[in-house]
Structure 1
Amino acid sequence: MNGYDFTLAGQQLCALGSGALWWPERRMLCVADLHLGKAERHARRGGAALPPYETADTLERLDADIAATGAGCVLCLGDSFDDDAAAQALPEAARLWIARLQAGRSWIWIAGNHDPGPVDLGGTHLAELPAPPLVFRHIAIPGAAGEISGHYHPKARIRTRAGTLARRAFLIDRDRVVLPAYGTYTGGLDCHDRALADLMRPDALAVLTGPRPLPVPMPRRAA
Structure 2
Amino acid sequence: MDQSVNGHSFTLAGVSLVALGTGALWWPEQGVLCVADLHLGKSERIARHGSGPLPAYDTRDTLTRLAADLTLHQARTVICLGHSFDDLAAARALPETERAWIAKLQAGRRWVWVEGRHDVGPADLGGTSLAELPVAPLSFRPIARPGASGEVSGHYHPSARVESGARMMTRPAFLLDRDRVILPAYGIYTAGQQSHDATLRALMRPEALALLTGPEVRAIPMPR
CA RMSD in angstroms, aligned pairs only: 0.7
Matched, 1:80 2:84: yes
Return the offset for 1:185.
Answer: 1.3
Match of 1:61 in 2: 65
> 2:91 matched to 1:110?
no
Could you tell me which residue of structure 1 aligns to residue 150 of structure 2? 146
Q: Say whether residues 1:159 and 2:169 are aligned partners.
A: no
Q: CA deviation at 1:46?
A: 1.3
Q: Give the secondary structure class of the aligned counterpart of 2:207.
A: coil
| Paired residue type of 2:99 | R
The aligned runs of 1:1-223 (5 Å cut-off) are 1-220=5-224
| In 2, Cα distance between equivalents of 1:162 and 1:93 | 44
Q: Would you say the 8 A contact 2:38–2:187 is kept in 1?
A: yes
Count matched residues: 220
For 1:72 and 1:53, locate their aligned partners in 2 and report how far apart those are by CA, in whole Å.
27
SS at match of 1:26: coil
Matched-pair contact (CA < 8 Å) for 1:32–1:151: yes
Is residue 112–residue 130 contact of structure 2 (8 Å, CA) maintained in 1?
A: yes
Residues 146-205 of structure 1, C-alpha deviations (whole Å, 9 max, x = no match): 000000000000113242121000000000000000000111000000010110000000
Q: Deviations over 1:22-72 (max 9, x none)?
A: 000110000000000000001101110111000000000000000010000
C-alpha contact 1:102 1:123 (8 A) present in aligned 2: yes
Describe the SS at the equivalent of 2:101: helix
Please give the per-residue CA displacement for 1:4-31, whole angstroms capped at 9, x wherever unaligned: 0000000000000000000001100000
Contact preservation (8 Å) 1:36, 1:87: yes
Q: Deviations over 1:83-117 (max 9, x none)?
A: 11000000111000000000001000000011144
Contact 2:91 2:122 in 1 (8 A): no
Task: Pick closer, same or farther for the CA change 1:98–1:130 going to 2, 3 Å.
Answer: same
C-alpha distance in structure 1 between counterparts of 2:22 and 2:104, whole Å: 21
State the SS of the aligned residue for 2:26: strand
Gaps of 5+ in 1: none
Extract unaligned runs of 5+ from structure 2: none
The code of the aligned residue for 1:146 comes to G
**Does structure 2 conserve the Cα–Cα contact (< 8 Å) formed by 1:29 and 1:74?**
yes
Partner Cα distance (1:156, 1:125) in 2:
31
> What secondary structure sits across from 1:219 in the alignment?
coil
